[in-house]
């Protein structure tokens, strides 16, 4: 159910902290947006500025009131759409696939914050099959399918256009753990199980099961711990549920075994290679070889495995452990062996709570690599465009090999941003010199390749390309991997809600609340909300910025009560049970100053008390505090600098509430001229609310108009239902003497459980759902029943001068639902807002935010959800029916961001395309400076005025209409002024490349929108074009007269030289900093080197399948001698012996005759030794002995194959002999005479055919056989009449068919035998009686 596009969603929502129930689900898009699951919502962060962009709550299913935990999140891989539509209905590049614990899979749209589509997961027990993981798979150029793991072992694949499931695979008793897509082939993905089962899946379409190609593999690992966990799980479930049911009840692996994690990742450097992490070991597995390339256990001190993250820039991977540590592993040169080279903490021991928070999810940035490739292709020499102070500084870039950003999410609501750097040796001067030398070569390659590529000789181009590849790695020839150091630094952090929310407090100061600075200046209402949490911290939320402004670690246990004292102090309490010896409770009361951050405890007792504190109630001035105990008198405290207890009240109170600030009289206090924070025309930073909204809380103000600013009153209810109002005046407490209602308020059906008080009205709710209100000055009263469960909280909405509607209340029920009622209406129940219109979560606490100044301002309701989220919801005052959330005509503008949001991918699609085009054409870096037109205009030569933007475009070759760039710049002007296009790092990089080459600009524009493959294409395009032109130059040079030039590398001879040794050419290789450019390798030498390097990894692998793959690799690189040697080493007992023998002979013949003779001898000897003559048929074919090959095939029982071989290669009598032998087999072994006769005739063995008929005593058939043979022979001769010479010669040579001469004894015997047969038949016919019915 998509929302209407103009209806706003939550104006403010902060997600609760993620937990293990979210299964560590997080995904970092290539554009730098992090989405992670927090409770039943998805939090979306911009990782460049480390800001919360938005929170998407998942709607609840119709069967439940609350949304389930989200357990899987994946960004859509669709790129920014380039087609222009009239209306932007959806943003496929900003779409999320989300799976939850109830088994639902939905596609969420970022723009509308609502589901576009729910996939059809209605299989049996679907509500129990929680989602473990999701993975997008490409089926066509423009469509993707979604693979999902449901429950412990079900793999399903869905068509994302229709939501239909078209493939299912059940792997039980295996537990599926995760899904990953192959970076080399988007149609291919793998599913891994906890026991090492690996399912390789390739999609050829998205219509049916026939479009899915499967391959099942097994990775051997020690699963003894998992078996023990299974036994424990089954025993505990059987003991807890005697009624039966499944052991796991459909829960996914992450819920069944949360501390037994098995995950994998595809290597981004080598096809078919996957990195698999088991709890206590790492395995490198080759999908093609179906074998383990490398395995190692974790060293002592390493925690269990959590996640593996490969680095795209280097042949390095990072392993995250459950104990919050990060280990770095790099590959050794020329072999597939990884060693651990560093260990770091993802959860610093300083500044974190005890016990240390858990690292739940880790993601590695995909956007850094392409930008680094662009940076490395651009020399640093003439960086004079912009002069920023740069944390991403490139001054000592000669030592930097790679930079990678890592994002980690912990269960205390923090998101951490780490910078991982690989640096060369600091002391190696040789490295620095080589890096400088490389930089110079890089300049030549970039500046001159495009301008005069036709002038290069082959040697020059080869040299440039070689240098380019070294320059990309940023490590000189002497940079050995051992000299590389890996470092990790924390460069950013975002603090969201730290723990499950238990309390919510909103400041509502009256005019008598003075500011903390002292003096008599009154306190103002601030846009802050305080939240108490389960961990004992107090988080203060800044509503205007939708962020956590401060977090105070106050208590060691759950915050059970929280109240504001004025607008800058908080009072909170917690309690813990005493020791077993002493018993009782230890109550802790703390006053926290928001400005100084200091905490001061008061009411400190020497020993535990008998009763715990039940609640706190602070007056709106912040001067008085009521402390309610469970079974002890209420204490009244004056909250001075050192709090003083005034007295205790030993009455059986059930509820107590101070009066709220009343509306000031317009004559006394004129409304402030400051624009309202909530008014319709709000623009930039909101002003602080005016103090005129509050008033004195004098207890007598409503009655006689007198004013005493130092007295405040509170209303109460007793256990017997009696009501009362007390007032506190200085240190005295006296009865207010209210006017009692005419009818009795004593409740016969339940205690009063909630109360709200604002002079002159007291509103009460009881545990039967009744709401009563009473005017303490007139005695008027009324009541109605909500027909709901008991009432837990009642909150008066804030009022302002001129607002006639004072009776609006929010009511929270014990079932965690709420309603809003208007007590001024004749029928409050008819005009109520019920909670089902507020989807997604149950409500723990609620209160109004008292920031209204104007009567036209909307009401704001603060809600603490059961999913630990904080939400702010608008209600429009003027709506005829109160029950409408978000009924403003326009969506609320985002109010305030302390830092701009530099994420171009979030722009509306047309604007994003405009920015993309501007970056491609080339815009001066000064355009990105938000203050350039105002501040720096005089300092930047050639800076245009604000009205004329054409001067910002650089002088580059124009494509299309020259007026378009200026129009695009005008469209983007609002974003530019806010500084919300690109962050400084990327602006600095763009400043370096903007005038270098158009391909770098095109690559940059693609990279910032997350389209890395397009960026790589642009980076590689110049090399490809030069390669092409080189060939054209060499070709024309060969046709013309030969001239002396630089020595040219003969690729063919070089490859043959190399292949004879099987080793790579001498040159510099590095496992570090290869970058992604090699994914688009095309040059012969580059491709050959990469293939040749793989060979050395597999030399130690054993097994027949491995040999097959190794031979294929050796043949591919032209090393035929090594391939023949490997094939001849096959044991005669091997099932691959005959195939390898055949290939050894064939390949040896391509090398030399001597190698061929050697291969033939070895193979023949092995065949004889093993008595497998059939295996020699291919060998015999290779040397032209087809007759013998057919005989061997027939000896081995391959009759059809022998005939096929004979039909291909044999003629005449040789072919006939094969067929005749086959006929004898069919006749005597298969007992099929008719098929044998055909074969005999085809072989020309007519006598044998007759003999077979006679032996079978088929006299009539034998005669008919002879008849047909003679007739056919005659007809054949008659057709030859056209060629008389040929006919006469043929008649002379073949007067009759061979073996069927009429005078032959066998032929005569057939005739005679047939005569006897006929006669006997006649007699039998005469002797037989006719048959009648």
Please provide the DSSP assignment of 144-198 as one string.
EEEEEEETTTEEEEEETTT--EEEEEE-TTS-EEEEEEETTEEEEEEEEETTSEE
Burial class (CB in 10 A: 0-12, 13-18, 19+), 1086: middle
At 265, the pLDDT band (50, 70, 90 cuts) reads very high
Contact 1311, 1317 (CB under 8 A): no
Burial class (CB in 10 A: 0-12, 13-18, 19+), 994: buried
Alpha helices in 417-520 (DSSP H): 429-449, 458-473
Which is more confidently placed, 84 or 929?
Answer: 929
Q: Please give the mean pLDDT across all residues of the chain.
A: 76
Contact 693, 662 (CB under 8 A): no
pLDDT mean over 1068-1089 = 59
At residue 1292's C-alpha, the angle toward residues 1291 and 1298, to 5°, is: 75
pLDDT mean over 98-116 = 90
Percentage of the residues of the chain whose pLDDT score is greater than 90: 29
For the stretch 1137-1187, pLDDT in tens is 878 888 888 888 888 878 887 787 677 667 755 555 555 666 666 656 678
- How many whole angstroms separate alpha carbon 689 and alpha carbon 113? 30
Q: What's the pLDDT at 939?
A: 40
Rg (CA), the chain: 43
Structure tokens at 879: 């709506």
Give the residue from 66, 70, 35 showing the smallest Cα distance to 52: 35
Structure tokens at 48: 């460049």
Q: What is the DSSP string of 383-444?
A: --S-----TT--TTTTTEEEEEEEEEEETTSEEEEEEEEEE--TT-HHHHHHHHHHHHHHHH
Give the residue from 412, 414, 378, 413 showing the smallest Cα distance to 394: 378
Strand (E) or helix (H) holding 998: helix 998-1008
Q: What's the pLDDT at 60?
A: 81
Tracing tokens 């303490």 back to the chain, one arrives at: 776
Give the residue from 838, 837, 794 showing the smallest Cα distance to 814: 794
Residue 1122: pLDDT above 50?
Answer: yes
**DSSP 8-state symbol, 1041:** -
For the stretch 636-683, pLDDT in tens is 999 988 999 998 999 999 999 998 877 654 444 443 333 333 444 433
Residue 944: pLDDT above 60?
Answer: no
Tracing tokens 């599913």 back to the chain, one arrives at: 191
- How many whole angstroms separate alpha carbon 711 and alpha carbon 696? 9
Contact 490, 406 (CB under 8 A): no
State how far Cα 388 lies from the chain centre: 34
Distance separating the N- and C-terminal Cα atoms of the chain: 80
Residue 254: pLDDT above 50?
Answer: yes
- How many whole angstroms separate alpha carbon 926 and alpha carbon 932? 7
Burial class (CB in 10 A: 0-12, 13-18, 19+), 567: buried
What beta strand segments (E) does 700-790 contain? 711-718, 723-729, 732-735, 752-758, 761-766, 770-775, 781-785
Give the residue from 1086, 1173, 1092, 1160 showing the smallest Cα distance to 1127: 1160
For the stretch 365-397, pLDDT in tens is 988 888 888 888 876 644 444 444 444 444 455
- How many whole angstroms separate alpha carbon 814 and alpha carbon 791? 6
Q: Which of 1039-1053, 1109-1123, 1236-1250 has the lowest mean pLDDT?
A: 1039-1053
For 1124, 1172, 1191, the CA distances from 1176, given in Å and listed in that order, are 17, 8, 11
For the stretch 970-1011, pLDDT in tens is 888 888 888 778 988 899 999 999 888 788 888 898 899 998
Which is more confidently placed, 1006 or 1049?
Answer: 1006
Give just the sign of the alpha carbon dihedral 1140, 1141, 1142, 1144: positive
| Helix, coil or strand: residue 104 | coil
**DSSP 8-state symbol, 483:** G
Q: What's the pLDDT at 887?
A: 37
Residue 7: pLDDT above 50?
Answer: no
- How many whole angstroms separate alpha carbon 1108 and alpha carbon 1127? 9
| 1006 upstream amide cis, omega within 30 of 0 | no
Q: How many CB atoms lie within 10 A of CB 22?
A: 28
Tracing tokens 């158009």 back to the chain, one arrives at: 998
Percentage of the residues of the chain whose pLDDT score is greater than 70: 70
At 250, the pLDDT band (50, 70, 90 cuts) reads confident
Contact 618, 572 (CB under 8 A): no
- Helix 998-1008 and helix 984-993: axis angle, to 10°? 160
For the stretch 22-46, pLDDT in tens is 999 999 999 999 999 999 999 999 9
Burial class (CB in 10 A: 0-12, 13-18, 19+), 1255: exposed
At residue 380's C-alpha, the angle toward residues 918 and 458, to 5°, is: 90
Contact 1246, 1297 (CB under 8 A): yes
At 826, the pLDDT band (50, 70, 90 cuts) reads confident
- How many whole angstroms separate alpha carbon 883 and alpha carbon 821? 9
Residue 283: pLDDT above 50?
Answer: yes
For the stretch 744-760, pLDDT in tens is 555 556 688 999 998 88
Structure tokens at 826: 């004749």
- How many whole angstroms separate alpha carbon 795 and alpha carbon 646? 27
For the stretch 1275-1309, pLDDT in tens is 677 766 666 665 566 566 666 777 777 778 888 88
pLDDT mean over 130-138 = 94
CA atoms within 13 A on the CB side of 102: 18
At 251, the pLDDT band (50, 70, 90 cuts) reads confident
**DSSP 8-state symbol, 886:** T
Contact 685, 618 (CB under 8 A): no
Give just the sign of the alpha carbon dihedral 553, 555, 559, 562: negative
Q: What's the pLDDT at 761?
A: 87
pLDDT mean over 408-435 = 76
| Helix, coil or strand: residue 5 | coil
Q: What is the DSSP string of 1181-1207?
A: HHTT-HHHHHHHHHHTT-HHHHHHHHH
For the stretch 475-526, pLDDT in tens is 333 344 567 899 999 999 999 998 999 999 998 877 665 544 444 555 677 8
- How many whole angstroms separate alpha carbon 797 and alpha carbon 806? 8
Structure tokens at 1229: 């072994």
């Amino acid at each position: 159910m998509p929302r209407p596009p103009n209806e706003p969603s939550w104006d403010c929502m902060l997600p609760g902290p993620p937990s293990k129930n979210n299964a560590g689900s997080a995904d970092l898009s290539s554009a730098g947006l992090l989405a992670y699951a927090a409770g039943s919502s998805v939090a979306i962060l911009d990782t460049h500025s480390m800001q919360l962009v938005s929170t998407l709550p998942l709607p609840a299913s119709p069967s439940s009131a609350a949304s389930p935990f989200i357990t899987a999140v994946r960004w859509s891989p669709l790129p920014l759409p380039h087609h222009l539509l009239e209306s932007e209905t959806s943003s496929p590049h900003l779409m999320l696939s989300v799976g939850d614990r109830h088994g639902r899979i939905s596609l969420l749209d970022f723009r509308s914050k609502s589901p576009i589509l729910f996939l059809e997961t209605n299989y049996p027990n679907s509500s129990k099959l929680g989602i473990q993981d999701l993975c997008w798979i490409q089926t066509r150029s423009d469509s993707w399918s979604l693979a999902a793991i449901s429950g412990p072992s079900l793999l399903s694949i869905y068509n994302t256009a229709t939501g239909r499931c078209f493939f299912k695979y059940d792997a039980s008793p295996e537990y599926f753990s995760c899904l990953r897509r192959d970076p080399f082939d988007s149609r291919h993905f793998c599913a891994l199980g906890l026991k090492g089962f690996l399912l390789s899946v390739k999609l050829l379409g998205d219509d049916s099961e026939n479009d899915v190609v499967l391959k099942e593999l097994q990775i051997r690992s020690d699963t003894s711990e998992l078996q023990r966990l299974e036994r424990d799980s089954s025993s505990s479930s059987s003991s807890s549920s005697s009624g039966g049911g499944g052991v796991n009840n459909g829960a996914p692996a992450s819920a069944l075994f949360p501390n037994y994690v098995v995950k994998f990742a595809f290597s981004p450097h080598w096809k078919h290679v996957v990195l698999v992490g088991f709890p206590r070991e790492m395995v490198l597995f080759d999908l093609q070889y179906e074998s383990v390339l490398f395995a190692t256990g974790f060293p002592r001190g390493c925690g269990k495995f959590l996640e593996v993250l490969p680095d795209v820039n280097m042949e390095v991977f990072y392993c995250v452990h459950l104990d919050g540590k990060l280990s770095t592993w790099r590959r050794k040169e020329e072999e597939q062996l990884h060693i651990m080279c560093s260990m770091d903490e993802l959860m610093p021991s300083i500044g974190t709570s005890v016990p240390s928070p858990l690292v739940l999810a880790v993601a590695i940035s995909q956007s850094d690599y392409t930008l680094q490739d662009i940076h490395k292709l651009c020399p640093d020499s003439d960086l004079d465009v912009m002069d920023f102070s740069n944390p991403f500084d490139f001054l000592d870039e000669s030592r930097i090999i790679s930079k990678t950003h890592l994002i980690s999410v912990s269960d205390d609501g923090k998101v951490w941003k780490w910078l991982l750097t690989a640096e060369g040796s600091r002391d190696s001067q040789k490295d620095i010199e080589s890096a400088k030398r490389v930089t110079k070569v890089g300049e030549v390659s970039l500046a001159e390749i495009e301008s005069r590529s036709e002038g290069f000789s082959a040697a020059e181009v080869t040299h440039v390309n070689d240098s380019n590849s070294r320059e990309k790695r940023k490590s000189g020839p002497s940079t050995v991997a051992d000299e590389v150091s890996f470092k990790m630094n924390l460069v950013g952090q975002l603090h969201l809600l730290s723990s499950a929310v238990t309390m919510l407090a909103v400041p509502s100061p009256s005019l008598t609340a003075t500011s903390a600075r002292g003096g008599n200046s009154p306190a103002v209402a601030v846009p802050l909300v305080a939240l108490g949490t389960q961990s004992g911290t107090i988080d203060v939320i800044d509503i205007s910025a939708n962020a956590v402004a401060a977090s105070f670690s106050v208590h060691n246990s759950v915050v059970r009560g929280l109240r504001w004292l004025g607008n800058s102090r908080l009072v909170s309490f917690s309690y813990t049970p005493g020791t077993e010896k002493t018993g009782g409770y230890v109550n802790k009361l703390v006053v926290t100053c928001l400005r100084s951050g200091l905490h001061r405890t008061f009411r400190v007792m020497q020993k535990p008390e008998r009763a715990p504190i039940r609640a706190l109630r602070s007056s709106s001035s912040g001067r008085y505090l009521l402390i309610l105990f469970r079974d002890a008198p209420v204490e009244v405290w004056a909250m001075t600098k050192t709090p003083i207890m005034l007295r205790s009240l030993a009455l059986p109170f059930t509820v107590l509430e101070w009066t709220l600030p009343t509306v000031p009289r317009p004559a006394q206090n004129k409304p402030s001229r400051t624009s309202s924070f909530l008014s319709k025309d709000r623009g930039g930073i909101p002003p602080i609310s005016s103090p005129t909204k509050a008033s004195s809380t004098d207890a007598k103000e409503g009655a006689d108009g007198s004013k005493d600013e130092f007295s405040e009153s509170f209303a109460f209810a007793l256990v017997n239902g009696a009501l009362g109002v007390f007032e506190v005046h200085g240190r005295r407490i006296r009865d207010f003497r209210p006017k009692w209602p005419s009818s009795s308020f004593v409740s016969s059906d339940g205690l009063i459980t909630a109360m709200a008080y604002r002079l002159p009205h007291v509103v009460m709710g009881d545990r039967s759902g009744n709401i009563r209100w009473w005017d303490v000055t007139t005695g008027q009263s009324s009541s109605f029943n909500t027909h709901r469960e008991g009432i837990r909280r009642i909150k008066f909405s804030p009022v302002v001068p001129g607002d006639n509607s004072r009776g609006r209340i929010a009511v929270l029920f014990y079932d965690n639902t709420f309603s809003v009622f208007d007590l001024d209406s004749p029928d409050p129940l008819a005009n109520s807002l019920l909670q089902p219109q507020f989807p997604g979560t149950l409500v723990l606490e609620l209160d109004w935010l008292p920031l209204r100044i104007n009567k036209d301002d909307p009401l704001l309701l603060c809600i603490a959800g059961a999913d630990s989220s904080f939400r702010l919801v608008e209600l429009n005052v003027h709506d005829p029916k109160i029950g409408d959330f978000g009924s403003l005509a326009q969506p609320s503008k985002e109010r305030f961001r302390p830092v701009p949001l530099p994420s171009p991918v979030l722009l509306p699609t047309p604007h994003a395309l405009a920015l993309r085009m501007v970056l491609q054409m080339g815009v001066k870096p000064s355009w990105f400076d938000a203050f350039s037109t105002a501040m720096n205009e005089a300092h930047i030569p050639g800076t245009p005025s604000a009205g004329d933007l054409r001067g910002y475009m650089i002088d580059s070759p124009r494509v299309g209409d020259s007026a378009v760039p200026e129009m695009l710049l005008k469209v983007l002007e609002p974003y530019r002024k806010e500084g919300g296009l690109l962050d400084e790092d990327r602006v600095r990089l763009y400043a370096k490349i903007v005038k270098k080459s158009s391909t770098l600009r095109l690559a940059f524009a693609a990279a910032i929108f997350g389209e890395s493959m397009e960026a790589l294409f642009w980076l590689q395009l110049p090399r490809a074009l030069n390669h092409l032109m080189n060939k054209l130059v060499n070709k024309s040079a060969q046709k013309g007269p030969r001239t002396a030039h630089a020595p040219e590398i003969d690729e063919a001879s070089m490859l043959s030289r190399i292949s004879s040794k099987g080793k790579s050419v001498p040159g510099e290789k590095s496992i570090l900093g290869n970058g992604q450019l090699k994914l688009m390798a095309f040059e012969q030498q580059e491709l050959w080197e990469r293939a040749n390097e793989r060979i050395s990894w597999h030399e130690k692998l054993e097994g027949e399948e491995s040999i097959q793959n190794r031979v294929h690799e050796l043949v591919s690189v032209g090393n035929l001698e090594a391939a023949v040697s490997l094939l001849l080493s096959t044991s005669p007992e091997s099932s691959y012996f005959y195939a390898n023998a055949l290939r050894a002979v064939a390949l040896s013949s391509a090398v030399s005759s001597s190698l061929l003779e050697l291969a033939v001898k070895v193979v023949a000897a092995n065949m004889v030794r093993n008595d497998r003559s059939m295996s020699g048929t291919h060998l015999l074919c290779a040397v032209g002995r087809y007759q013998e090959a057919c005989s061997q095939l027939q000896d081995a029982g391959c009759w059809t194959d022998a005939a096929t071989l004979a039909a291909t290669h044999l003629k005449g009598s040789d072919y006939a002999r094969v067929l005749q032998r086959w006929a004898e087999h069919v006749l005597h072994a298969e007992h099929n005479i008719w098929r044998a006769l055909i074969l005999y005739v085809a072989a020309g063995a007519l006598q044998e055919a007759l003999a077979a008929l006679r032996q079978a005593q088929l006299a009539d058939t034998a005669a008919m056989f002879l008849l047909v043979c003679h007739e056919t022979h005659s007809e054949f001769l008659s057709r030859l009449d056209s060629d008389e010479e040929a006919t006469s010669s043929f008649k002379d040579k073949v007067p009759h068919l061979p073996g069927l001469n009429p005078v032959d004894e066998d032929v005569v015997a057939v005739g005679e035998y047939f005569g006897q047969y006929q006669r006997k038949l006649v007699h039998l016919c005469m002797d037989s009686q006719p048959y009648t019915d």
